Structure formats: C-alpha cells, structure tokens
Amino acid sequence: MSTSHPVITIDGPAASGKSSIARIVARRLGFTYVNTGNMYRAMTWAVLQAGVDPQDADAVRTAAAGIVIDSPVVEGKTQVCVVGHTLSDGELNSDPVNRAVSFIARVPEVRERLVADQRALIAIGPLVMEGRDIGSVVFPDSPHKIYVDASEEVRASRRSAQGHADQVAERDRLDKQRKASPLVVPDGAIVIDNSHITLEQAVEQVLAALKLS
Ligand code: DC
C-alpha cells in the first residue's frame, strides 16, 4: 500500500527494546509514535473484561467484533481507548494481559481489524510505528524498515527489570509460529542487534540507517 506520509516501521520480538528506541526516534524526528502492541493489548483487556476465554478463538472472534479501539494522539503518541476509557500502562501490561495477548493476536479477524485501524492512522501524518508485522504486512512498501533484535537472555532480564512477569520466550514462540502474519524480519529491513549497545547507540544506528529526505 502506498503511503502519503513517511512511516518508519520498527518490528522485533518482545522486550527487544524496540519501544524505547521507537519513542525516541519519533521524538527526534517530530513524527507520531504508534505502539501497535498496545492495540492488541487493549483488545485483549476488553476480551478479558467480557469474560471470554482467550484460547477460545470463536468466542474471541465474536467478542472482538463488538470492540472498538480508538487511538487519539496525546503529546506525540497514540493512546488506546476502549469505550471512552484510556487504558493505563498498568492495565495494558498486567499479568493476565501478558498471558493472553498472543492468543488474541493470532485470530485472523482480530488482525484484519487492527491492521485496517493501523493503516488509517497515516492520516495523522508521518509515523514511527512499532510491532511485529508493520514492515511485512501493515506498510510493506515503506522504504524505512527496521528490525530490532536482542538475545533471549537480555530480553528476559530487561522485562523482569521492568517489574513485569512476562514469559517472553513463550510469547515469541507463539508470535513466530502463528499462521496469521507471524513475526519475521521484513524484506528490506535493516537489522539492529540491541543486545549489547546502549539505547542512545541504538537510536543513532536507526537514525543513521534511515534515508529520510
Ligand atoms: O509489543 P508487545 O510485546 O507489547 O506486543 C504484545 C503482543 O501483541 C505480542 O506478543 C504479539 C502482539 N502483536 C502483534 O501480533 N502484532 C503487532 N503488530 C504488535 C503486537
């Protein structure tokens, strides 16, 4: 799909550091930052609120059809709102959401809805959008693709330092093996290994790799 504004796509596994990098790159460039993981997390939160079993794909499909996620921009980044309620970081990163989100994200109808919402965000202006399938599925024609990787060890210790109980290896396994748009290195993406460099070095590598005119 062609884009009217530039979109920098940043994909990678859980806790690779892509959110911190994406947020700073967006701020430096004056682009709007979109964390698409939070859209899948908001959908998961709403499905759990509805009392649906996250592993029951039919029930998830039915519940998700009635859930609308709004993404208003506040201070340069999109928030996630479900029926007027802006979800807090605590709600988005709660243990139940961490455990369930990969099951919700593998339902093709959920992905179709959220991918359409993500593409529509281009109306806001230039974007830095991060997730798992942004360079491969959401904006495959973007010339500005980054894939941030880090060793499993580094990622697990980063997540526990953030105080979250999050089985990152298990989530990655589900995200890479699912049928609907699995996590891959997108064609044309520049890969940054974020295991042993500082956040500032990673940001500099991304900015140096981008060919923005
Ligand atoms: O980026 P994150 O760890 O907050 O993402 C949470 C989950 O959402 C992740 O385990 C898989 C799913 N996700 C996805 O399937 N596609 C995206 N573009 C972003 C996230």
Give the residue, by CA position, lying nearest to ligand 1 atom 14. Answer: 132
When pLDDT is cut at 50, 70 and 90, the band that residue 213 belongs to is low
pLDDT band at 15 (very low <50, low <70, confident <90, very high): confident
Pocket of ligand 1 (CB under 6 A): 14, 36-37, 40-41, 101-102, 105, 131-134, 171, 175
Ligand 1 atom nearest to CA at 40: 8
Query: Would you place residue 5 in the very low, low, confident or very high pLDDT band (cuts 50, 70, 90)?
Result: very high
What angle (nearest 5°) sits at the alpha carbon of residue 3, between those of residues 206 and 147? 30
State pLDDT tens for residues 93-152. Answer: 999 999 999 999 999 999 999 999 999 999 999 999 999 999 999 999 999 999 999 998
Closest by alpha carbon to 53, among 87, 103, 93?
103
Average pLDDT over residues 45-62: 97
- Confidence band, pLDDT 50/70/90 cuts, at residue 161: confident
- 7-210 is classed CATH 3.40.50.150: no
Q: Half-sphere exposure of 128 toward its Cβ, with a 13 Å CA cutoff?
A: 26
* Backbone angle region of 83, left / alpha / beta, with phi > 0 → left and psi within -120 to 50 → alpha: left
